[in-house]
Amino acid sequence: MPKLELYGTASCPYTAELRESLEWRGSDFVEYDIETDTQARERICTLAQAPFTVPLLVEDGKVIQIGWQGRGCVVAGK
């Protein structure tokens, strides 16, 4: 199974909800907090339009999910 990348922020409650869902399903994923990880923020800015919504779920370099159950937190671009 391909590894998923979860991009979010500690301040966005929907990031936590999506993380819990991925863990419950046993998904293999890596999480990045774009508030503290500048390299992750730069990577996600190249994939998403600014401003963008978190959480973002990425698979094989492509955004496959924006937000969680229709909800998310808006983040300013670079």
Q: Which domains does the chain have, with CATH numbers?
A: 4-75 (3.40.30.10)
Yes or no: say if 28 and 3 are a contact pair by the CB < 8 Å rule: yes
> Rounded distance, CA 30 to CA 5, Å?
5
Q: How far is CA 68 from CA 20, 29, 35, in A?
A: 11, 16, 18
- Give yes or no for residue 1 having a pLDDT over 60: no
Q: What confidence score (pLDDT) does residue 47 get?
A: 83
Split at pLDDT 50, 70, 90, the class of 75 is confident
Measured over the CA atoms of residue 30, residue 33, residue 39 and residue 42, the dihedral's sign is positive
Q: What is the mean pLDDT of residues 33-56?
A: 88
Q: What is the mean pLDDT of residues 41-49?
A: 84
Q: What is the mean pLDDT of residues 66-74?
A: 92
